[in-house]
Amino acid sequence: MSGKNPGMDMTTLSALAEPNRMDIVELLRDGPLTVGEIADRLRLRQPQASKHLKVLSDNGILEVRAEANRRIYKLRPEPFQALDSWVKSFRRVMEDRFDNLEDYLRELQNKEQS
Amino acid sequence: MSGKNPGMDMTTLSALAEPNRMDIVELLRDGPLTVGEIADRLRLRQPQASKHLKVLSDNGILEVRAEANRRIYKLRPEPFQALDSWVKSFRRVMEDRFDNLEDYLRELQNKEQS
DNA sequence: AGGGAATATTCCTGTCAAGGAATATTTAAG
DNA sequence: CTTAAATATTCCTTGACAGGAATATTCCCT
């Protein structure tokens, strides 16, 4: 074993960490949309829209449904569920209480081994 | 105004979307640590550790406390709370129901125009 | 004051990803 | 079969960013 990052899927995060893709996700939150519609509303050129959509689908954030000429993209629930449970695992941090205690213990250790 | 991304702070995401920084965050989840300890446990060279720590602090993910020679980094709750409430705003997506509806309408449209 | 630990910073280099423009592909319609 | 719309793909260029190595800074200790 090699101490790899356990919890969260990195690719999900890096996919979302790009303004246009984040915009796409935000846009798709109230329903599936066509490439053209997406490009329109976000003022993107079609090729860039397609590229970003590809990244998002490749990472499982979106899924496509072909409908004749059009391709309809929509959000997939899984990544968000994953993200949700990952963040929840930080409740100790979010609620604070923990550092005062730990800090104190560490202080002690340091002082006595010097 | 220009339709900027409203909900989530992008910089938080991009800061986390890097393996070593994610590792640091995971490591710090059970307590504050020193630069040296972090570098050690993650097998990072000290300068890279410092750089990543800088990025994380600059984005408000970590906070530093100087203690003589050492600098002790620890997680800040705010970004996680923010991330949490952002993800929660996707509950409609996470619970599905919404696309079935839309899908169904689309299906109808198609069938009757064939 | 001087030496050594702990940490930060700088400079350099290579890699990768995003945008632009052009082009390929698929599909519907006449 | 030709054309046009919708989408995907390719090629190119540029900028951002991470790692490496060296160096600067800060602080403790004697």
- B8-18 pLDDT, tens per residue? 999 999 999 99
Chain A touched by B102 (CB under 8 Å): yes
The CA distance from B31 to B75, in Å, is 8
What was the pLDDT predicted at B114?
A: 41
What was the pLDDT predicted at A85?
A: 96
Among all residues of chain B, which has the CA nearest to that of A33? B102
In a domain, A4, yes or no: no
In a domain, A31, yes or no: yes
In a domain, A68, yes or no: yes
Question: How many structural domains are present in chain B?
Answer: 1
In a domain, A79, yes or no: yes
Identify the weakest region by mean pLDDT among A73-77, A106-110, B60-64: A106-110
CB atoms within 10 A of CB B3: 11
Chain B touched by A98 (CB under 8 Å): yes
What was the pLDDT predicted at A2?
A: 47
At residue A112, does pLDDT exceed 60?
no
The CA distance from B109 to B103, in Å, is 10
In a domain, A55, yes or no: yes
CA→C1' distance for B48 and D28 (Å):
24
CB atoms within 10 A of CB A68: 6
Instruction: Give tens-digit pLDDT for B11-37.
Output: 999 999 999 999 999 999 989 999 999
Confidence of residue A7 (pLDDT cuts 50, 70, 90): confident
Average pLDDT of span A33-55: 97
The sign of the CA dihedral B11, B12, B17, B23 is positive
Among all residues of chain A, which has the CA nearest to that of B94? A77
Protein-covered nucleotides of chain D (CB closer than 7 Å) are 5-10, 17-23, 26-29
In a domain, B98, yes or no: yes
At residue A102, does pLDDT exceed 70?
no
* Contact between A24 and A53 (Cβ < 8 Å): yes
Put simply, the answer to whether B90 touches A29 (Cβ < 8 Å) is yes
Instruction: Give tens-digit pLDDT for B94-103.
Output: 987 655 666 5
The CA distance from A57 to A76, in Å, is 9
In a domain, B93, yes or no: yes
What was the pLDDT predicted at A24?
A: 98
CA→C1' distance for B51 and C11 (Å):
14
The CA distance from B50 to B35, in Å, is 7
What was the pLDDT predicted at B7?
A: 83
Taking the CA atoms of chain B, what radius of gyration do you get in angstroms?
21
Q: Tell me the pairing of strands A70-75 and B33-34.
A: unpaired
Identify the weakest region by mean pLDDT among A3-12, A24-33, A56-65, B76-85: A3-12
pLDDT higher at A111 or A38? A38
CATH number, domain at B15?
A: 1.10.10.10
What is the pTM assigned to this prediction? 0.85
Confidence of residue A77 (pLDDT cuts 50, 70, 90): very high
What was the pLDDT predicted at B96?
A: 72
Average pLDDT of span A50-63: 98
In a domain, B2, yes or no: no
A71 touches strand D (CB under 7 A): yes
* Domain residue limits at B98: 10-112
Among all residues of chain B, which has the CA nearest to that of A7? B26
| The residue type at B113 | Q
Among the partner residues A13, A29, A72, nearest to B93 by beta-carbon distance: A29
